[in-house]
Chain A
Amino acid sequence: MANYSTNEFKGGLKVMLDGDPCNILENEFVKPGKGQAFNRVKLRNLITGRVWERTFKSGESLEGADVMDLDMEYVYTDGDMWHFMKTDGSFEQYAVDKKAIGDVEKWLKEQAVYTVTLWNDNAIAVSPPNFLELEVVETDPGLKGDTAQGGSKPATLSSGAVVRVPLFINQGEVLKVDTRSGEYVSRA
C-alpha cells in the first residue's frame, strides 16, 4: 500500500496505526505563529471501533490500509462463524468471527444485505442496513383498542434483538426497526 503524508490525510482515508487499520475522521492542522506544524488527527480503529486522537508532526506519513467495504448477503451461521456471500454474482463467501460480528449478531437476518469491511481480504466488521423488517417472536399479548397513545413493552425479534414496541403489537407481526437506534419504526 502507498504511504500517505499528513497533508493528504482527510476524512475517510484508511491508514495503519499501531498495527490496526483505522479510518481517519478528522484532521486538524495546528501551527504556532512561527514554528513547527502539527496535525491533530481523529481516527476510528476499525478493529475495536474506538476513536483515537493522535498528533503527528506535519510531513510524517502513515501506511495506507487495504480496507474495503463490500455489500454481502447474510447466509447462515455454523455456531462459530457467520457466513456472508458477495452480491456481485460471484457467490464468493466470507466467514466472519464473533469479534468482527460484535453487536450486529442480534440484527442478522438471512438474505438481508450487510456492509462487510474487509482488511487484507479478512472480514473485520459488519454493519447492518439502517432498517430491517423482523418478526416478533415473543411479547406480551396486544391490548385491543390501544392503537394511538401511551405505553410500550419489550418484544423479542426473530434476530434476537429486543426492542420497545407499542402495546398493540402482537406476536407473529413483522415490524420495521431502525438498527442504529434499536427503535421500533412501524408495522412492516
Chain B
Amino acid sequence: MTNTPRPDDWQPAATIETLRQRARLLATIRAFFTARDVLEVETPVLGHAGSTDPHLDSLSLEATTPDGRERLWLQTSPEFHMKRLLAAGAGPIFQLAHSFRDGEVGRRHNLEFTMLEWYRPGFSLDELIDECGALIRAVLPGDPGPLRQRRYRDLFRDHLDVDPFQSPLAGLRQLAGESGGLPMDDADRNGCLDLLMSFVIEPRLGRDGIEVVVDYPASQAALARRRIDPEDGAEVAARFEIYHRGIELANGYDELTDAAEQAMRFAEDNRQRTALGKPAVDVDRRLVAALQHGMPAGSGVALGVDRLIQLALDKESIAEVMAFPTPRC
C-alpha cells in the first residue's frame, strides 16, 4: 500500500516547543549517567547479525563492504554491540540508540525509535531496578508515586485468578480467547500469557506508582539468566519490566554470560522462527565469542525513551514527541 502524501505532511508531528522539551529531557538523561560515572558509548545501528527473538522482526539491507555485497541488519536494540564492549572491559556504559523493529507502528510504537540502554557490571537486578526508578523520577516532572515489585505469577493470580505456570493450557486458551475476542485454540502457553498480559494486566499496571514485574516464566527469558524461585521452586527468568500509567517503559535482565547457553538460545530462537513461518536470522557469532572470552556478570536494561518523554510531556502517543514518525518520514 502506498503512503499517500498530504499537503501538510512535510511538517513535523511534534511542535518545535515539544522538540525543545525533548532535547532538555535527553540532556537530563545524559547528566544522570555522567553524575554516576556511566560512560556514554556509540555503536553501529548496522551489524552482520540480527535479533533472533521470535517475536521481533529485524530489517536488513544489502551493502557493499570491503568483503563485497553483504547483508547487514538494522539493530532492534544496541544490546549485542554493547555486550561486546562489556566483554572488552568497558565498565558501566549507556547509549541513546536508534533502533528498528519491522511492523511495529502504533500509538506506542514506531518503526524507528530511541532506546536508552545501559549496563551495570556487578549490579544485581534489584540494584538496577532502583537505578531505573531514580532515572524515571529524574525525567518525569511530578512524583510518579512509589516503586514496587510484583511477581509475574502473583499478577495473574490477583487479576485473573489463574496460575500462569500451572493452570491447564485449555483453561488459559479459553480465558485468552474471551479476553481478546479471537480464537486461541491453537495458541501455546506463552501466546495465551502474552495476550492476557497485554490486554488485561498491562493497562492496569503502574496506575499509582512505578510497577516492576519480576520473575517471568523461564520460557520468556530472552537473554536473561534463569533461576529457581526460592518461594515456590519454579524456574523463572531473572528479568524485569517496568510499567507506569499502563505503559511498558523498560525491560531488564540479569544478563546471560554463558556462551554455550547463548549459542543454544540463538539456535532455539531460529527454530521457533522457522516454526512460525518467519525467516531465520544471521546469529551474532561475535557476541558468542565475546561471551567465551568472558563478560562480567551484571544487569542491563533497555528503556523506551520516546514513551518516557511522552509520559513526561503528558502526550497521547509517541508520535507527538517525535519530529517525523514513520508515516511522515
Contacts and interface: CB of A to CB of B under 8 A. Distances in A.
Given A34-B53, A34-B55, A29 B106 contact: yes
Contact of A35 (B1, B103, B108, B190): B190
Contact of B220 (A31, A35, A59): A35
Contacts of B191: 36
Contacts of A34: 53, 55, 220, 222, 251
B53 A53 contact: no
Interface in B189-230: 190-191, 193-195, 197-199, 202, 220, 222
B55 A36 contact: yes
A10 B106 CA distance: 11
Interface in A80-128: none
Contact of A33 (B106, B195, B241): B241
Contacts of B103: 7, 37, 58-59
A38 B106 contact: no
B197 A31 contact: no
B195 A36 contact: yes
Given A35-B190, A35-B194, A36-B55, A30 B199 contact: yes
B180 interface: yes
A56 B182 contact: yes
Interface string B164-192: 00000000000000001110000000110
B104 interface: yes
B304 to A, nearest CB: 10
B55 A37 contact: yes
Interface string A39-80: 010000000000001111111000000000000000000000
Contacts of A27: 106
Contacts of A30: 106, 198-199
Given A36-B195, A56-B182, A29 B55 contact: no
Contacts of B104: 29, 31, 37
B105 interface: yes
Contacts of B199: 30, 38, 40, 55
A74 to B, nearest CB: 31
Contacts of A150: none
Contact of A36 (B105, B109, B190): B190
Contact of B202 (A32, A36, A54, A58): A32
Contacts of A54: 181-182
A8 interface: yes
A8 B1 contact: yes
Interface string A1-31: 0001001101000000000000000011111
Contacts of A33: 241, 248, 251
A37 B107 CA distance: 14
Contact of A55 (B105, B182, B197, B241): B182
Contacts of B197: 32, 35
Nearest to B104: A29
Contacts of B195: 36, 38, 55
Contacts of A29: 104-109
Nearest to A10: B1
A41 to B, nearest CB: 10
Contact of A28 (B1, B106, B190): B106
Contacts of A7: 103, 105
Interface in A160-178: none
21 contacts: A10-B1, A27-B106, A29-B104, A29-B106, A29-B107, A29-B109, A31-B198, A32-B198, A32-B248, A34-B53, A34-B251, A35-B55, A35-B193, A36-B190, A36-B195, A37-B103, A37-B104, A38-B180, A38-B198, A53-B181, A55-B195
